[in-house]
Amino acid sequence: MQLFYNPALTTTSEYFTFDREESKHIVKVLRKQEGNTLFVTNGSGYVFKVEIVIGMDTKCKVKILSAELQKPLDYNLHLAVAPTKMNDRYEWFLEKATEIGVTSITPIFCEHSERKHIKNDRFEKIIQSAAKQSLQSYFPVLNEAISFKDFIKNHSKNGTLLIAHCEETDKKSLKQMIIKGSEITLLIGPEGDFSESEIKLAMENHFVPVTLGETRLRTETAAIVGCHSVAFVNHD
């Protein structure tokens, strides 16, 4: 099955038209014709079965036949991850975390961050592509980038709050802190790690320091280890 995406679809929608690029892909590449069926998600949990009524490569129009609400993730995982110096590494993280299963992602700018600007539109496209490829009907929410201090100040104190850092201090094992079916927020720092003052601020706001293993990990690797650990415990 191939999954398409249209965030505007609701259970009251009857028809819609794919944009020119998507229409060309459906008609020219996939060789779909009028009467063929496709599957489309709105990224908010629904998968729609649709039938092509106009099969033009400039205008592929479909009729909605049915809508089915899918089961969401059994857990709620919010990853707050500092942007990497090289953009492609962060994009790799976004792609893989989406495939594995994450609820929301927030880029956070830290004291040691080398990158202070990101392209949210580009990141959104990476997430959408990964979600479609992995046949997911609930797309992760990509929040606006924010400073570490503002994130800590404004973030909800609900659920399990964790910060992964490399300082030689008392830390819990991430696996020990994961509660099946729970809400988890995990902070991952930049290449230079969180500063001592950032770690202190997080702990003052109820974030628990955790270790991801014995080796020192890159930012994007640490984020994926955290994401997979939460998913693995919940799928056990």
CA distance 93 to 81: 10
CA distance 34 to 91: 36
Q: What is the pLDDT of residues 205-226, one digit of tens each?
A: 999 999 998 888 999 999 999 9
Q: What is the pLDDT of residues 19-64, one digit of tens each?
A: 999 999 999 999 999 999 999 999 999 999 999 999 999 999 999 9
| Residue 121 sits in the same domain as residue 59 | no
Last residue of a domain, one of 17, 44, 69: 69
What's the pTM? Answer: 0.92
Residue 23: CATH number of its domain: 2.40.240.20
- Report the relative pairing of strands 183-188 and 160-164 from DSSP bridges: parallel
Is residue 39 a contact partner of residue 64, using CB atoms and an 8 Å limit? no
What is the pLDDT averaged over residues 67-79? 96
- Domain of residue 15 covers 3-69
Helix (H) / strand (E) containing 124? helix 120-133
Number of domains in the chain: 2
Q: What is the pLDDT of residues 88-138, one digit of tens each?
A: 999 999 999 999 999 999 999 999 898 888 889 999 999 999 999 999 999
| Residue 17 sits in the same domain as residue 35 | yes
| Residue 150 sits in the same domain as residue 213 | yes
What is the pLDDT averaged over residues 146-165? 93
pLDDT number for residue 236: 66
Dihedral angle computed from the Cα positions of residues 102, 150, 212 and 139, in that order, rounded to the nearest 10 degrees: 10
